[in-house]
Structure 1
Amino acid sequence: MATGTGAGWNRREFVGAAGLLAIALGLPGCVSASAGAADLAAALPPEEAPNDRQLAMLREVSQIVIPATDTPGAGDAEVGAFVAMALAHGMEASRAPLPPAAQTFASTRFLRADGSLRYVDWLDDVLGAGFLEEAPPARLEKVRALDAAAYAQNAGAHPWRKVKALILLGYYTSEIGGSQELQYAPLPGRFDPAVPVQPGERAYSNEWTGVEFG
């Protein structure tokens, strides 16, 4: 996926700068990354579980954000199911009341009684019911436009930022992201305060900064 400016996005450079690695454990009712809508429906309250089309939408959006290259993309890693579960459990403060500034970008009909946003329903509406039937370039442009709007000046509270952060978190803490996209070293060895890095070298899966949960 490219940024809103049209420049290419090298995801390995991005993850090195973003540091969005954490251990996503301990979520109540957690299901596997390969979960389908039925699994999520069993694990989540009925009003929080995505339907089959929404789960497919989340999978496609995840794949657009982190596409396959020489390693599988986020859709391949079934990050969409993780995003649905994470949103339902309030990761990235997604169950907090939506700030007034963010209501510019989200219709109030997607707000819960407590003022929090139903992010899956919101994203489904923004992309449109026919999103999955559109040609791949059209789907890419829709997500690219959404991304550009979310990171434009004065758009700090845009709901897409939370969804995108969870896609990144889900991918780089998945088996695929942690062992194929990143270099997995369970025994990293001695501590070196400064290590030369060659162009294109993959980051290690133990090079992470904490992400605040809930």
Structure 2
Amino acid sequence: MRVAALAGATMSLPALADTLEASAAQRALTNKPVFFTADQDATVAELADTIIPTTSTPGAKAAKVNEIIDILVKDCYKEADQKAFLEGLARTNKLSQDAYGKAFVQLDPTQRIEIVKKLEAEAKQQKADMAAAKAQNASGQQDVQMPGEKRKSATPFFTMIKDLTLTGYFTSEVGATQALEYVAVPGRYDGCVPLKAGQKAWAI
């Protein structure tokens, strides 16, 4: 299952790989999210599809990127990051309600792009604030802008959803074979190859 191969660390952490596989199997069996609510899952699907829409190639929704994000947030994110991600989804819907009086999934594509632009702008501002706080601390000045917990490098929601979308999409069959140029590795399998006299066996 590709979810177990998304992070190289899983190769050295078989327990995590097993957990990812179990979550993927549960989602496939029940056809329900393993971490998100149904509404949150739908919001993630539309956000991902706004980031990578269908053009000449299928978009994130066609690649079922929301399913991968659901599993990765459940099994690979710390509790604080899970909370931040869910707060980001709630923030997305608040921006949508404030601007258009509807939830994000009910917006048209143009409106969704505007909300995503707002999320991106907020993420840039959050990063700028954290950089300023770090510089202030380095200069020995007391940071009165950000509490101790927030002073740590918290990843903005839009950064999380964008990174997860790109990772999920380009490791999917759709992304790898239709959006990218795919070459199978190791390639064609030859079940019987004649060996020359004295030739060493092939390495595996």
1:136-174 Cα deviation digits (max 9, x unpaired): 211111012111221345166323212211111000000
1:118 paired residue number: 83
Does residue 177 (structure 1) correspond to residue 175 (structure 2)? The answer is yes
2:70 paired residue number: 84
The TM-score, its normalising length taken from structure 2, stands at: 0.58
Change over 3 Å in CA distance of 1:68–1:159 after alignment to 2: same
1:196 paired residue number: none
What letter is aligned with 2:22?
G
The TM-score, its normalising length taken from structure 1, stands at: 0.56
Q: Assess if the C-alpha contact under 8 Å between 2:93 and 2:104 holds in 1.
A: yes
Q: Assess if the C-alpha contact under 8 Å between 1:54 and 1:120 holds in 2.
A: no
Q: Choose 1 or 2 for highest CA Rg.
A: 2
Q: Assess if the C-alpha contact under 8 Å between 1:149 and 1:155 holds in 2.
A: no
3-state DSSP class of the match of 1:87?
Answer: helix
Does residue 30 (structure 1) correspond to residue 23 (structure 2)? The answer is yes
Question: For 2:70 and 2:85, how far apart are their aligned partners in 1?
Answer: 7
Q: 2:104 aligns with which of 121, 128, 131?
A: 131
Q: CA RMSD in A?
A: 2.8
Question: For 1:81 and 1:87, how far apart are their aligned partners in 2?
Answer: 10
2:123 paired residue number: 150
Percent identical pairs in the alignment equals 27
Alignment of 1:66-81 (within 5 A): 66-81=52-67
Does residue 39 (structure 1) correspond to residue 31 (structure 2)? The answer is yes
What letter is aligned with 1:142?
I
Q: Assess if the C-alpha contact under 8 Å between 2:120 and 2:158 holds in 1.
A: yes
Q: Assess if the C-alpha contact under 8 Å between 1:40 and 1:85 holds in 2.
A: no
Change over 3 Å in CA distance of 1:148–1:85 after alignment to 2: same
The answer to which structure has the higher helix fraction is: 2
Runs of 4+ aligned structure 1 residues displaced above 4 Å come to: none
Unaligned runs of 5+ in 2: 11-16, 95-102, 131-154, 188-204
2:114 paired residue number: 141
What is the Cα deviation at residue 123 of structure 1? Answer: 2.6
Unaligned runs of 5+ in 1: 1-21, 96-111, 190-214
Question: For 2:178 and 2:161, how far apart are their aligned partners in 1?
Answer: 23
